[in-house]
Amino acid sequence: MDYSHSEIEKKWQEHWRDIKLANCDVSLEKNNFYNLCMYPYPSGDLHMGHIRNYTIGDVITRYKQKQGFNVLSPMGWDSFGLPAENAAIKTGIHPKKFTEDRINNMRDQIQRLGSLYDWDKEVAAHDKNYYKWTQYLFIQLFNNDLAYKEDAPVNWCTSCNTVLANEQVIEGDCERCDSEVIKKNLNQWFLKISNYSEELLNGLDEIGDWPENVKSMQENWIGKSSGVQFNLKIDETELDFDVFTTRPDTLFGMTFAVISPEHDLMNEILSISSNSKEIKKYIDKAKSKSEFERMSITKEKTGVDTGLKVLNPINNKKVPLWVADYVLINYGTGAIMAVPGHDERDYEFAKKYNLEIVQVIIDKDHSIDIKEKPYIENGVLINSGDYDGLKSHTDGSESILKYLSDHNLGEKKVTYRLRDWLISRQRYWGCPIPLINCSKCGLVPESIQNLPVLLPEIDDYKNSEDSPLAKSEDFVTTECPNCGSEGKRETDTMDTFVDSSWYFLRYLDSQNEKSPFDQKIINSWLPIDQYIGGVEHAILHLLYSRFFVKALRDINLLNVDEPFHNLFSQGMINFGGSKMSKSKGNVVDPEAYFTTHGADALRLYILFMAPPSDGVEWNDGGIEGTKRFLNKFWDNMTKFSNLENNKTNDEDSLVRSMNQTIFSVTRHLEKFEFNTGVSDLMKANNEISSYLNKNTTVSKETKELVFSSMCNLLYPFSPHISSEIYDLYMNKDISTLDWPTYEESNLTNPTYELVVQINGKKKFTKVINTGTSQENAEEICKSEFNLNVSDFKKVIFVEDKIINFIG
RNA sequence: GCCCGGGUGGCGGAAUUGGUAGACGCGACGGACUUAAAAUCCGUUAUUCGAAAGGAUGUGGGGGUUCGAGUCCCCCCCCGGGCACCA
């Protein structure tokens, strides 16, 4: 029989609201647990990814509540961003109205899932009471030299008409719209995340429980590399430049040097090079190439000889200096020593342009042939003067480094791939950057009492090169807060990742009108005990937020090193082989399942279908199974409540089964193994079915045990039905019960099936008493299977498991 | 190329420290109930040989350690994700 889920779910959701089950008093200082699901972009409709995220989060919330924690579980909206603006361009609906309609719709849907959120603390990035403080924090960063404006070659999406962060360029294309990204020189705002490269990297070792893959993605992204930086002088000039290498041991193998076309020294080189016409042409060509073309590996390397020579600092050998765009301006020093004998890229280049190739490392068996391909492994130095015979990777490197540093030519150096975070966006629907260009004082932050700098009303959201905000004369023209003379406002808005880098701080004090947050509360509640969200945010959001918190710590706004202690990344839910998205038309709408199967069944299925960290293909059939389980559970409990009060012989095993289920579900919950937790409950339900098939009575104690354990254990997964059943038959609100505990003595079955092996192969099984000794087991094997210990060389006995006769 | 994951029935997936591989669910098949169907209930379901009893094979492939390997070690293949002309 189908139980009436719609009615029940509505009833309990109202009840939880009435008793304020989700409301958290953050002023308490004991037993706090901050459980956070990533706040969503308000796309308007909940998709299966959200359902998965918020179900996992709610399991944790309810489980931790039952363990006596004061759980904070807030929800809010990442509500700035492109879609609202694109919709405004298309339909004329104001982005604010558009966004808020969608938020309202989505909030309703989230509530139908039955998850507990403290809505009193709700935040929305686009709310002026929120972005006021985003601006405030930005000004603090600016005042502490952590925000700066600079001309820089930036990634420009030709379709979105805006700048993108490096992180938002995927294989040369825009992360959002897949259009081509080109390079452009623009004056842009940056946050100095690179100041924190080392700390962001080291923090990964000290952080709590994070998925390995996320840590490794962040490590890759930060891209630490240790080596040596040294100076190269251009022969017969006063010019010199630095190069960075991780292989100082190959210094004698340098047969040319390469400088990036964008290098600062290029103007001087052009003025003295005999080949300046060619170089100029080459530079212009490199500039016009897209980022992707430049980066493409398949592309053949190109370059131009400058005609100039540089001096190898260790032996004064003169080698040619080339310009080539395979050397990137924003890594290392933008120039390299080229060692074609021991570097693949230099090798390719040298082959193409017929440059000298010298071998300076030889392997143990002297078997390598540098004429075929470069040798990039370690070995022993040759052709390296006094250094011949040294091991390349240890003594060789160190000795050559010592020479360079002793002669003040170079030093040990660490470089990072991570670059500063570009946050300017030439878009309307974002947080305005609260800076003013004063004709006298230069760049000046808006005064704090004038915040927020409100988004102006404009008629036309379309942007060309300039941000749409530039269209509002009233907005742009203002007074300098310093000297009162005429100033012009910045017209760019911030990357929405700035909004999401601190929302979890605002939750704790979302109504505060005097400051972004209360430092005391933050320090007692952070780091967040459990953060849960999609693996797609492994780098961007998580790295930015970590940086933000460290920066705020250093300017004394809080005292926390890492925002997220434990992180859980759920896998993505796919449909028809690819990620669900509206544009692909492969969205499975959760809304329908609320009606047909109910929130409880949907929650249960999404937990049951796979380990939550795995990506998974959506499959309709499975949800029938979980609904079937809930129906059966309902029926079983109804029947069970009607059993007469009289103890039976089957009860002991039922009691054991309950204890085992408590033990197992608890263990699985602790390890985020929800799929197996659900299967434990299904198993237990089957036990109850078979008890009901055989018995018509049960003792009062066992009846109560079955109700309290089953409803309690099911409660985090499917809270409505478990609340209803417990209320119906035990007259109590299950949410008020503590998490159940098991009795150690009731976990073990009195008998087990002994596996009898001969030479490691299973031959027989026999049910015997738990705890049977080897001696007795051998006796049993003799009488049952005619196995005599004396006929075998050896007998291996593992208590309560196997006996193995070897002969 | 480098760095992380992962590979188990028709399918999703289970298997503390090495100890009965395939829990739980889906699907399929058979039966009960029904005029019939749906729903529900009961049973079967890794492959293969066999009428059966029973045997053999089996966790991507190949070696190894062990009384015993899905689990540990070495080599290889494939899939997913991240990074990638990073010097």
A772-800 pLDDT per residue, tens: 999 999 999 998 888 888 888 889 999 99
Higher-pLDDT residue of A30, A447 = A447
A664/B15 CA-to-C1' distance in Å: 14
First to last CA, chain A: 58
A415/B86 CA-to-C1' distance in Å: 9
Structure tokens at A343: 């570097």
> Among residues A37, A22, A50, A24, which one has the least CA distance to residue A110?
A50
A257-273 pLDDT per residue, tens: 999 998 999 999 999 88
* Residue A350 confidence (pLDDT) above 60: yes
A627/B37 CA-to-C1' distance in Å: 21
Largest CA distance in chain A: 106
Residues 525-554 of A with CB under 7 A from strand B: 535, 538-539
> Quick one: pLDDT at residue A160?
72
What does the alpha-carbon distance between residue A652 and residue A199 come to, in Å, rounded to a whole number?
A: 57
Which nucleotide shows the minimum CA-to-C1' distance to residue A167? B83
**What is the percent of chain A with per-residue pLDDT over 70, rounded to a whole number?**
94
A748 touches strand B (CB under 7 A): no
Residues 5-34 of A with CB under 7 A from strand B: none
Residues 249-278 of A with CB under 7 A from strand B: 260
* Residue A715 confidence (pLDDT) above 80: yes
Residues 221-240 of A with CB under 7 A from strand B: 221, 223, 225, 227
Residues 379-438 of A with CB under 7 A from strand B: 415, 417
A794 touches strand B (CB under 7 A): yes
Which nucleotide shows the minimum CA-to-C1' distance to residue A800? B19
Which residue's CA lies closest to nucleotide B5 at its C1' atom?
Answer: A213
| A284-301 mean pLDDT | 66
Tell me the residue length of chain A.
807
Which nucleotide shows the minimum CA-to-C1' distance to residue A243? B87
> Quick one: pLDDT at residue A253?
93
Structure tokens at A453: 């700098």
A678/B53 CA-to-C1' distance in Å: 39
Q: Which residue has the tokens 């309290």?
A: A708
Which nucleotide shows the minimum CA-to-C1' distance to residue A578? B80
Which nucleotide shows the minimum CA-to-C1' distance to residue A296? B85
**What is the percent of chain A with per-residue pLDDT over 90, rounded to a whole number?**
64
What does the alpha-carbon distance between residue A558 and residue A524 come to, in Å, rounded to a whole number?
A: 10
A728-782 pLDDT per residue, tens: 999 999 999 999 999 998 999 999 989 999 888 888 888 899 999 999 999 999 9
What does the alpha-carbon distance between residue A691 and residue A446 come to, in Å, rounded to a whole number?
A: 73
Laid out side by side, the sheet with A421-422 consists of: A162-164, A147-157, A181-191, A421-422
A626/B32 CA-to-C1' distance in Å: 24
Strand partners, A71: A33
Which nucleotide shows the minimum CA-to-C1' distance to residue A804? B67
Which nucleotide shows the minimum CA-to-C1' distance to residue A616? B12
What does the alpha-carbon distance between residue A174 and residue A182 come to, in Å, rounded to a whole number?
A: 10
> Quick one: pLDDT at residue A573?
84
Residues 343-382 of A with CB under 7 A from strand B: 343, 345, 348
A763/B64 CA-to-C1' distance in Å: 26
* Residue A370 confidence (pLDDT) above 50: yes
> Quick one: pLDDT at residue A340?
93
Which residue's CA lies closest to nucleotide B83 at its C1' atom?
Answer: A220
A773/B21 CA-to-C1' distance in Å: 26
What does the alpha-carbon distance between residue A698 and residue A691 come to, in Å, rounded to a whole number?
A: 10
* DSSP string computed for A771-788: T--HHHHHHHHHHHH---
**Is residue A678 within 8 Å of A661, Cβ to Cβ?**
no
Which nucleotide shows the minimum CA-to-C1' distance to residue A679? B24
> Quick one: pLDDT at residue A159?
75
What does the alpha-carbon distance between residue A748 and residue A459 come to, in Å, rounded to a whole number?
A: 73
A802 touches strand B (CB under 7 A): yes
A491-517 pLDDT per residue, tens: 999 999 999 999 999 999 999 999 999
Radius of gyration, alpha carbons of chain A: 34
> Quick one: pLDDT at residue A297?
46
A567/B3 CA-to-C1' distance in Å: 20
**Is residue A321 within 8 Å of A310, Cβ to Cβ?**
yes
Which nucleotide shows the minimum CA-to-C1' distance to residue A247? B87
A53/B70 CA-to-C1' distance in Å: 30
A284 touches strand B (CB under 7 A): no
> Among residues A641, A645, A637, A638, which one has the least CA distance to residue A700?
A645
Question: Complex ipTM, two decimals?
Answer: 0.94
Residue A46: pLDDT band by 50, 70, 90 thresholds?
confident
Residue A667: pLDDT band by 50, 70, 90 thresholds?
very high
A6-23 pLDDT per residue, tens: 999 999 999 999 999 999
Decide: helix, strand or coil at residue A142.
Answer: helix
What does the alpha-carbon distance between residue A500 and residue A512 come to, in Å, rounded to a whole number?
A: 18
> Quick one: pLDDT at residue A459?
79
What are the residues whose beta carbons fall under 8 Å from the beta carbon of A565, sequence distance 6 or more? A207, A208, A209, A527, A528, A529, A530, A531
What are the residues whose beta carbons fall under 8 Å from the beta carbon of A444, sequence distance 6 or more? A435, A436, A437, A438, A480, A481, A482, A487
A469/B76 CA-to-C1' distance in Å: 60
Residue A25: pLDDT band by 50, 70, 90 thresholds?
very high
A755 touches strand B (CB under 7 A): yes
Higher-pLDDT residue of A759, A64 = A64
Strand partners, A570: A534
A115-172 pLDDT per residue, tens: 999 999 999 999 999 999 999 999 999 999 999 998 876 777 777 777 776 666 666 6
Q: Return the axis-axis angle of helices A700-714 and A621-641, rounded to nearest 10°.
A: 150
A9/B20 CA-to-C1' distance in Å: 43
Residues 287-316 of A with CB under 7 A from strand B: 294-297, 299, 301
A612/B58 CA-to-C1' distance in Å: 29
> Among residues A157, A559, A279, A228, which one has the least CA distance to residue A400?
A228
**Is residue A228 within 8 Å of A314, Cβ to Cβ?**
no
The set of strand B positions with any atom below 7 Å of a protein CB reads: 3-5, 11-16, 19-21, 23-27, 39-42, 55-56, 67-69, 80-87
